[in-house]
């Protein structure tokens, strides 16, 4: 089956990357907008490129050193895989982001042209363009992620034969560490992807939210100008941040989840093989191979299915039903995957002796587990919508509380987020139980693979959001006609809902991926497939794990505050020193704001990233693998509730503000102009608080748990060989 897997993944990669290139070129060739539009788009492009350049310049050397260390202590392949992971993640993010920047302008222009031509399907066409822009990121993520993994599989696994079950045994590295080579190498690939993801998400997040909050705090509140008013000096920085954080960061986040899930489920079979050696029914070598290849093949099918799904949306007749348009790509991809992988499961496991593994219903079991993952992913999105959309009562209630002032808006939105965590946790907990009932320990890893198999479609829809948002910004900044802005506003508002759904999905899939890595951790090395949480080292680790996760989150919020304060000062300074800005006589100095955000974001992200990377390592050196197992559990359990709560509180506040704005006429009539302003201000405070919650802290928790789980898997041989606790306490 090895070749079936290689062909499926290869085809998927080729289709995705060609289609991504096609969509990118198509966007670049589209007509530029008005000269001011082009100007603004150029400023955004410059700012985003400058940030990424600086970020990569700062951190790449450090990461290269890490790669070299891996190469020396494990195997040169580990170092190569780590660097390859970095490269693939960076490439996917970069291309996707450049695509988004190109399309920001084109969507705004498409809306403008549509209104000029009085085209009745103008909105559908603009949506189509925005979605095409998003698909550049979606397709790059899927394509590059699997390209790198495929290369490693072919070179290290097949040519050098390390994926051969005969070679899946403990060997000694050059410095004397006990490792199993192939799992170690692909785990390093996964960590390479994670490292770039955390830089993009966290750096971009601090950048964009500092700019966003800073712009809003002075602009809306003190100067009384609207969001995206070109007189606000921080407005370009805000757009740059959207592209870096919400586009690039989100893409590399999901890329990393996908690779994490696939790698974890490809690592588990080697652990299952080792565990089964001492039993009466040892697992066959062929089955081990198939279980390793199955998740990759599954993703290959996923890529192809998503290409079809995206194609279908792009080439059908555009309609005005925005939400339906976007959902079609998800649903059609998911449906194709569900059918095609049933066949795949039969091919992979139909002829195998499965008595040595926990497949309750034979060959169909892993397929059922994967479908459970797909269904869970869809459910997570639905719950997110129910708690954050202004169509439902939860968000309406938050809006209603604005009548009693900002304090109750905050308390009410917090309550919404917290309560929303339960259905998500039940979905994930239920998915873990069910998928494992069907396919044993392999099941929950495969559920994660299933959930992430339509990642291309998800990321395409996700990226549509910030593209529409920035298109709206550009329309606003270039003073487009009211009709144009109506179109971009509708696209943007739809983007808020897809963002909330996408976040639910990203958190859920990230948690499952981290969990699969943690399972791999517990099944390798001397933790031995069990993690007795009643043991004091594991329990102590769990306590410190939840503590670290909260600390990291608090630290990120602090960074946003600092960056926002800098931005507030700068905006106030420019407006004060240059009175021409407010009278439209002179243009504000956008570049300085971008520079300040760039410097501040890069300075602020160092500490949390290094704490996240080092804490499981230090914990492992002091207390050993039991402690690290508990620690990972703590981080995952903390992240699953907190990230969901933050994402949904933030979404509810955002949409509650929109709801209040939409009720302006009614509220003004009922309470008068002044009271309306008070109510609206209260809702804006909730929205501002939620910005950092939902776009920085939540998503980054999700990345950090994966980062910590992956680094723990990689460092396990080292921790096994040496830890202080086992030296002192026998």
Residues 556-585 that bind a copy of itself (CB under 8 A): 557-558, 560-561, 564-565, 568
61 neighbors 256 (Cβ within 8 angstroms): no
For residue 25, what are the CA distances in angstroms to 43, 95, 260, 645?
A: 21, 11, 30, 39
Q: Choose between 208 and 327: whose C-beta lies nearer to a copy of itself.
A: 208
Position 638 contacts a copy of itself (CB under 8 A): yes
Least distance from C-beta 445 to a copy of itself, angstroms?
11
351 φ/ψ angles, rounded to the nearest 5 degrees: -100, 15
Query: Rounded to whole angstroms, how far apart are CA atoms 344 and 349?
Result: 9
b/e burial code for range 646-679 (CB count within 10 A of at least 16 → b):
bbbbbbbbbbbbbbbeebeeebbeeeeeeebeeb
* Distance from C-alpha of 329 to C-alpha of 462, rounded to nearest angstrom: 12
Give the integer Cα–Cα distance in Å for 250 and 92.
Answer: 11
Whole-angstrom Cα distance, residue 453 to residue 617?
31
Minimum distance of a copy of itself from residue 453's CB (angstroms): 21
User: Which of 539, 329, 573, 342 lies closest to 455, judged by CA?
Assistant: 329
Taking CB under 8 A as the rule, which mask of x and - marks residues 659-688 in contact with a copy of itself? --------------------------x--x
CA distances from 593 to 239, 563, 574, 604 (A): 12, 11, 10, 16
Distance, in Å, from the CA atom of 237 to the CA atom of 710, rounded to the nearest integer, reads 33
Q: Which of 3, 7, 361, 536 binds a copy of itself (CB under 8 A)?
A: 536
Query: Residue 221 interacts with a copy of itself (CB under 8 A)?
Result: yes
Q: Which of 20, 92, 261, 410 binds a copy of itself (CB under 8 A)?
A: 410
Closest approach, Cβ 207 to a copy of itself, in A, equals 16
How many C-beta atoms surround the C-beta of residue 530 within 10 A?
11
Specify which residues 178 forms β-bridges with: 172
Of 342, 425, 582, 603, the residue at the interface with a copy of itself (CB under 8 A) is: 425
By C-beta, is 80 or 500 nearer to a copy of itself? 500
Minimum Å distance from CB 205 to a copy of itself?
13
- Binding segment for a copy of itself (CB under 8 A), chosen from 123-131, 344-352, 426-434, 457-465, is 426-434
Q: Which residues contact 189 (CB under 8 A, 6 or more apart)?
A: 81, 82, 84, 85, 148, 149, 152, 259, 263
CB of 103 to a copy of itself, least distance (A): 31
Q: How far is the CB of 436 from a copy of itself (least distance, A)?
A: 3
The residue with tokens 């080697």 is 270
Nearer to a copy of itself, 86 or 516 (CB): 516
Rounded to an integer, what distance in angstroms lies between the CA atom of residue 133 and that of residue 448?
27
Site for a copy of itself in 169-208 (CB under 8 A): none
- Given a contact cutoff of 8 angstroms between Cβ atoms, the answer to whether 447 and 372 are in contact is yes
Give min distance, CB of 397 to a copy of itself, in A.
9
Based on the shown chain and the rule CB under 8 A, indicate whether residue 689 belongs to the binding site for a copy of itself.
yes
- Of 476 and 638, nearer to a copy of itself (C-beta) is 638
Q: Which is nearer to a copy of itself, 340 or 601 (CB)?
A: 601
- The reply to whether 549 sits near a copy of itself by the rule CB under 8 A is yes
Q: How far is the CB of 576 from a copy of itself (least distance, A)?
A: 15
Binding residues for a copy of itself restricted to 438-457, rule: CB under 8 A: 441, 443-444
With contacts defined by CB under 8 A, name the span among 184-192, 417-425, 473-481, 575-583 that binds a copy of itself: 417-425
Distance in Å, CB of 254 to a copy of itself, minimum: 21
CB of 541 to a copy of itself, least distance (A): 7
- Partners of 179 in the β-ladder: 171
Question: Contact with a copy of itself (CB under 8 A): which of 73, 310, 542, 660?
Answer: 542
Binding to a copy of itself by CB under 8 A, coded x per residue (else -) over 496-535, reads -------------------x---x--xx-----xxxxxx-
Cα separation, 598 vs 53, in Å, equals 10
The nearest distance, CB 415 to a copy of itself, in angstroms, is 4
Which residues in 577-636 contact a copy of itself (CB under 8 A)?
623, 633-634
> Which residues within the stretch 41-100 sit at the binding site for a copy of itself (CB under 8 A)?
none
Instruction: Transcribe 584-646 into DSSP letters.
Output: TSS---HHHHHHHHHHHHHHHHHHHHHHHHHHHHHHHHHH-HHHHHHHHHHHHHHHHHHHHHH
121 phi/psi in degrees, rounded to 5: -100, 30
Residue whose CB is less far from a copy of itself, 156 or 564: 564
Stretch that binds a copy of itself, among 122-130, 232-240, 285-293, 414-422 (CB under 8 A): 414-422
Instruction: Specify the 3-state DSSP secondary structure of 179.
Output: strand
Least gap, CB of 434 to a copy of itself (angstroms): 9
> Measured from the CB atom, is 97 or 511 closer to a copy of itself?
511
Q: How far is the CB of 212 from a copy of itself (least distance, A)?
A: 11
Residues binding a copy of itself: what is the number (CB under 8 A)?
A: 84
The residue from 640, 647, 705, 715 that contacts a copy of itself (CB under 8 A) is 640
Instruction: State which residue, 13 or 685, has the beta carbon closest to a copy of itself.
Output: 685
DSSP 42-70: HHHHHHHHHHHHHHHHHHHHHHHHHHHHH
Among 252-260, 418-426, 496-504, 660-668, the segment contacting a copy of itself (CB under 8 A): 418-426
Widest CA span of the chain, in angstroms?
Answer: 84
Please tell me whether residue 692 binds a copy of itself under the rule CB under 8 A: yes
């Amino acid at each position: 089956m090895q070749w079936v897997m290689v062909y499926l993944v290869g085809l998927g990669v080729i289709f995705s990357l060609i289609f991504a290139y096609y969509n990118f070129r198509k966007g670049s060739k589209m007509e530029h907008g008005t000269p001011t539009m082009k100007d603004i788009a150029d400023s955004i492009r410059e700012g985003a490129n400058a940030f990424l350049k600086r970020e990569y310049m700062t951190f790449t050397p450090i990461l290269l050193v890490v790669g070299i260390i891996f190469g020396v202590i494990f195997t040169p392949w580990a170092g190569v895989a780590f660097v390859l992971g970095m490269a693939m993640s960076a490439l996917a993010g970069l291309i996707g982001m450049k695509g988004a920047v190109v399309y920001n302008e084109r969507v705004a222009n498409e809306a403008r042209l549509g209104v000029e031509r009085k085209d009745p399907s103008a909105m559908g066409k603009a949506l189509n363009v925005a979605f095409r822009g998003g698909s550049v990121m979606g397709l790059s993520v899927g394509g590059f992620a699997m390209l790198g993994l495929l290369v490693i599989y072919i070179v290290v696994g097949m040519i050098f034969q390390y994926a051969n079950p005969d070679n899946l045994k403990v060997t000694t590295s050059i410095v004397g560490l006990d490792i199993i080579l192939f799992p170690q190498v692909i785990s390093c690939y996964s960590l390479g992807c994670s490292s770039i993801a955390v830089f993009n998400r966290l750096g971009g997040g601090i950048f964009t939210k500092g700019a966003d909050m800073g712009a809003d705090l002075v602009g809306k509140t003190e100067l009384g100008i609207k969001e995206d008013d070109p007189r606000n000096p921080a407005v370009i920085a805000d757009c740059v941040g959207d592209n870096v954080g919400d586009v690039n960061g989100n893409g590399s986040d999901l890329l990393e989840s996908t690779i994490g899930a696939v790698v974890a489920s490809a690592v588990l079979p080697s652990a299952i093989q080792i565990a089964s050696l001492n039993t009466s029914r040892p697992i066959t070598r062929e089955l081990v191979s198939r279980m390793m290849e199955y998740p990759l093949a599954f993703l290959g099918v996923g890529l192809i299915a998503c290409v079809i799904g995206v194609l279908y949306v792009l080439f059908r007749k555009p309609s005005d039903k925005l939400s339906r348009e976007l959902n079609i790509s998800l649903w059609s991809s998911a449906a194709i995957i569900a059918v095609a992988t049933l066949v795949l499961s039969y091919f992979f496991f139909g002829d195998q002796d499965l008595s040595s593994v926990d497949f309750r219903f034979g060959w169909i079991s892993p397929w059922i587990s994967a479908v459970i993952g797909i269904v869970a992913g869809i459910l997570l999105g639905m719950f997110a919508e129910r708690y954050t959309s202004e169509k439902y009562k939860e968000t309406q209630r938050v809006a209603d509380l604005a009548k009693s002032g900002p304090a109750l808006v905050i308390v009410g939105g917090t309550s919404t987020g917290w309560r929303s965590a339960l259905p998500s946790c039940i979905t994930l907990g239920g998915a873990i139980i069910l998928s494992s009932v069907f396919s044993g320990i392999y099941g929950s890893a495969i559920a994660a693979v299933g959930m992430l198999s339509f990642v291309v479609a998800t990321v395409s829809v996700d990226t549509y959001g910030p593209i529409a948002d920035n298109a709206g910004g550009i329309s606003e900044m270039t003073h487009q006609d009211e009709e144009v802005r109506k179109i971009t506003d509708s696209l943007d508002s739809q983007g808020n809902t897809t963002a909330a759904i996408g976040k639910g999905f990203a958190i859920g899939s990230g948690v499952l991926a981290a969990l699969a890595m943690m399972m791999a951790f517990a099944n390798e090395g001397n933790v031995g497939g069990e993690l007795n949480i009643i043991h004091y080292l594991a329990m102590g680790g769990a306590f410190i794990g939840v503590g670290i996760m909260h600390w990291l989150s608090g630290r990120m919020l602090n960074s946003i505050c600092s960056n926002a304060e800098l931005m507030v000062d700068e905006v106030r300074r420019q407006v004060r020193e240059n009175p021409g800005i407010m009278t439209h006589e002179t243009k504000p100095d956008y570049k300085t704001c971008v520079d300040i955000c760039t410097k501040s974001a890069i300075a602020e992200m160092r500490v949390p990233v290094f704490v996240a990377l080092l804490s499981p390592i230090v914990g492992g050196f002091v207390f050993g693998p039991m402690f690290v197992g508990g620690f990972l559990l703590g981080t995952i359990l903390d992240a699953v509730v907190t990230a969901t709560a933050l994402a949904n509180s933030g979404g509810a506040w955002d949409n509650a503000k929109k709801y209040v704005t939409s009720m302006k006429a009614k509220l003004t009539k009922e309470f008068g102009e002044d009271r309306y302003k008070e109510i609206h201000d209260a809702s804006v405070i909730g929205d501002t608080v939620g910005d950092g919650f939902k776009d920085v802290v939540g998503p980054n928790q999700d990345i950090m748990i994966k980062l910590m789980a992956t680094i723990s898997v990689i460092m396990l041989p080292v921790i096994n060989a040496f830890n202080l606790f086992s030296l002192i306490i026998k």
